[in-house]
Structure 1
């Protein structure tokens, strides 16, 4: 039972046992060449409005010294949103449910922030370890707590995204597996609940993309 349940997250396919399912990560690129259309579509206008709104919000969080650098966080949001949304379609591998994917996004960002902060803003990074107004006898403990909380940031970003994607997909698979053994009335109730869960998973896909991007932006703003 456990093997068949978690097989939806298996990255290997049946073709020579190769991890071809990871190709689904690049399917989001099919949505980008909108410039070839004669006139902007509604999808193009909607996406432009969304990215511009995110750009303004990230610019406020980063401050005036990070002008122009919001595109990396908007692109990060777009990549995660595409992968989360594509994973809701049948027979498409959800790459964002694997820690190897989420850690590959969070760890390089965190390392870049740390290297930049300690090389160019060392005094600010040391001061950030002790919040303002901390009593002197609590300073060693605050340094330890802030250091640990800083070190686990890439792990929490990766686990949060992967766990939310796995939880929803497992719930949909568990409920869907009970369908053949139900009566007609219970089957209609199950289908209705599955539709509601799918809508909830669509909202989770958007929210988790935003949470990942906004937390990365907040971590970047702390090194200034």
Structure 2
């Protein structure tokens, strides 16, 4: 039973669908569908997957991430996985994983650290040279190195907070609209209730777009971070 608008963020609320296993199963299912070409014949679903896959590969091929073996397929599968997590959080009584900072920070920090460690092991000199912009005055070199180091360290924090904050805020607004709609159905007039239904449906569709955009932003920023790999 949901006691308040923040109960949807409590994974221990006792609902079966709130557990992580069904949500992870949905995510793995969508990732498997993304790699359908190995066991499915092409159809309408295959055409849609081809469009999405070609769009992701175009984004990867624009940067240096295409030179990293397996990065394109991993980044594309990660976007589909995050999209499945975001959309599954809109279902009633489903625990929203991506609205929790612990989940998003775990993903962002591991991916960011793997790129940094890989770049440092490949060529430490070039990796360290990224911290000092070319052509900078010698007097400002210590401050610029400090600023670039801080900006490099906070990347996983901004990447995770952006996703968790957008997903969390959207779920809270949907909870508020649903609460007002369920309470107003017995007290307000028919026109007011109908207006609230239209607003609720419109915001739900808006939240679906937010889920798509946030998964794409996570994928795009990860692709941009891979551009600095030496």
Please indicate, yes or no, whether the TM-score normalized by the shorter chain is above 0.5. yes
1:133-212 counterparts in 2 under 5 A?
133-179=135-181, 180-181=183-184, 182-212=188-218
Which residues in structure 2 correspond to 1:70-85 (within 5 Å)? 70-85=72-87
Q: Gaps (5+ residues) in structure 1?
A: none
Residue 56 of structure 2 corresponds to residue 54 of structure 1: yes
CA contact under 8 A between 1:59 and 1:66: conserved in structure 2?
no
Gaps of 5+ in 2: none
* Cα distance, 1:66 vs structure 2: 2.8
Shift of 1:40: 3.2
Identify if the C-alpha distance between structure 1 residues 201 and 54 changes in structure 2 by more than 3 Å, giving closer, same or farther. Answer: same
Q: Is the aligned partner of 1:5 residue 2:11?
A: no
User: Which moved further from structure 2: 163-172 or 34-43?
Assistant: 34-43
Counterpart CA distance in 2 for 1:111 and 1:66 is 15
Offset of residue 65 of structure 1: 2.9
List, as ranges, runs of 4+ consecutive aligned residues in structure 1 with deviation greater than 4 Å.
33-39
Q: How many residues align?
A: 221
**1:12-61 alpha-carbon deviations (Å, 9 max, x no partner):** 2427xx99611212223334355698743422320222012201221221
Root-mean-square deviation (CA, aligned residues, Å) is 2.4
Q: Is the 8 A contact 1:11 1:19 kept in 2?
A: no
Answering whether residue 32 of structure 2 is matched by residue 26 of structure 1, we say no
